[in-house]
């Protein structure tokens, strides 16, 4: 697997978060790793605690919790930021988005990013054009929210399609999407969520072909598919250089085996990652008790491996 220099994340002032990679440098500029495949980080890691609103999906879906309450939950939990899962936003009306931004600012909460649910692996050219326009719409909404990271998805291949085709379609969409996002200072993070992005080699191929400092990987540590635990960690290590944001769980998605979070933090610290370690809780325990337990581990590891 090819690898490049670490992408850099961000910390925003209260109420905002600035998602930034090594701005102005293309993927080809970053292919200068040392013999062991790792380019030494320019400085030590800066790790911040976060929580994805998706962690409370059962409450948000049933309307027992609002997005406003998910922002206030961050204060209760003592964390730095919220990853705004957009499924439960009332609208993309600027006045509504500004009200959320203002609420976060008044409570000293950062938005670590937003998300776009559209899939880039579309065989139909007209659908790909529509996905591009949808991503641009969410870039605009992300700008209004006052954050500068937007999570995007490649997704499951349509029947009969190949991975090579899925990569080509994704690049066709995300190259211009990254250019559009760059004009607003927003970084796109492709999540290794499912479909073609569940292998590190495909994620790295996408990074090389998109070749933009405004496109990286929203690195969910649990989502790669691998025959062994060691290969899971190897895939995290191979892609951490491009991490723009993270999702943290305590079990691997395919095997449901426990994740050695200390080992994961060592990988991020070695890469000099700067940004949010954001809980995305999907455990069997109720989120009201399960999320705080996961965040307790995240905060302890941030203190252990970060200079903040």
- Read off the pLDDT of residues 39-71 as tens digits, 9 standing for 90 and up: 444 468 999 999 999 999 999 999 999 999 999
Residue 306's pLDDT is 92
pLDDT of residue 307: 74
Q: Which residue blocks in the chain are alpha helix, DSSP H?
A: 57-61, 67-77, 94-106, 125-145, 163-182, 200-210, 229-239, 261-270, 287-305
Q: Name the DSSP letter for residue 15.
A: T
**Tokens for 91?**
């609208």
Task: Look at residue 80 in the predicted model and tell me its pLDDT.
Answer: 96
pLDDT tens sequence across 172-214: 999 999 999 999 999 999 999 989 999 999 999 999 999 999 9
What pLDDT is attached to residue 295?
A: 98
Closest CA to 207 of 56, 29, 63: 29
pLDDT in tens, 245-277: 999 999 999 999 999 999 999 999 999 999 999
Q: Given pLDDT bands bounded at 50, 70 and 90, which one contains residue 74?
A: very high
Query: What DSSP designation does 298 have?
Result: H
Confidence (pLDDT) at 43: 65
Report the alpha-carbon distance of residue 149 to residue 143 in Å, rounded. 9
| Integer angstrom CA distances of residue 276 from 5, 60, 66, 82, 248 | 19, 22, 22, 9, 10
- Name the more confident of 92 and 31: 92
The answer to whether the Cα torsion of 16, 21, 25, 26 is positive or negative is negative
Average pLDDT, the chain: 88
CATH of domain 28-305: 3.20.20.150
How many other C-beta atoms are found inside a 10 Å radius of the C-beta of residue 215?
Answer: 27
pLDDT band at 308 (very low <50, low <70, confident <90, very high): confident
């Amino acid at each position: 697997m090819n690898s490049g220099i670490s992408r850099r994340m961000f910390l925003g002032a209260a109420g905002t978060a600035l998602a930034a990679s090594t701005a102005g440098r293309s993927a080809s500029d970053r292919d200068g790793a040392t013999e062991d495949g790792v380019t030494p980080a320019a400085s030590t890691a800066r790790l911040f605690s976060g929580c994805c609103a998706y962690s409370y999906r059962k409450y948000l879906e049933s309307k027992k919790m609002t997005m406003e309450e998910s922002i206030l939950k961050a204060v209760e939990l003592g964390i730095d930021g919220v990853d705004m899962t957009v499924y439960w936003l009332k609208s993309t009306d600027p006045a509504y988005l500004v009200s959320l931004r203002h609420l976060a600012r008044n409570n000293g909460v950062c938005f670590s990013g937003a998300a776009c649910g559209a899939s880039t692996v579309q065989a139909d050219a007209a659908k790909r054009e529509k996905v591009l326009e949808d991503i641009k719409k969410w870039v605009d909404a992300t700008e209004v929210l006052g954050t500068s990271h937007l999570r995007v998805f490649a997704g499951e291949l349509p029947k009969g399609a190949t991975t090579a085709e899925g990569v080509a379609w994704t690049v066709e969409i995300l190259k211009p999407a990254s250019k559009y996002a760059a004009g607003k200072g927003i970084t796109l993070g492709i999540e290794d969520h499912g479909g073609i992005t569940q292998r590190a080699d495909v994620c790295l191929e996408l990074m090389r072909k998109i070749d933009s400092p405004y496109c990286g990987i929203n690195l969910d540590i649990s989502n790669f598919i691998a025959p062994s635990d060691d290969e899971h960690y190897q895939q995290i290590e191979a892609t951490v250089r491009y991490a723009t944001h993270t999702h943290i769980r305590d079990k691997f998605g395919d095997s449901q085996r426990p994740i050695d979070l200390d080992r994961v933090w060592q990988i991020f610290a070695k890469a000099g990652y700067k940004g949010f370690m954001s809980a995305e809780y999907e455990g069997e325990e109720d989120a009201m008790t399960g999320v705080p337990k996961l965040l307790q581990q995240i905060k302890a590891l941030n203190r252990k491996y970060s200079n903040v």
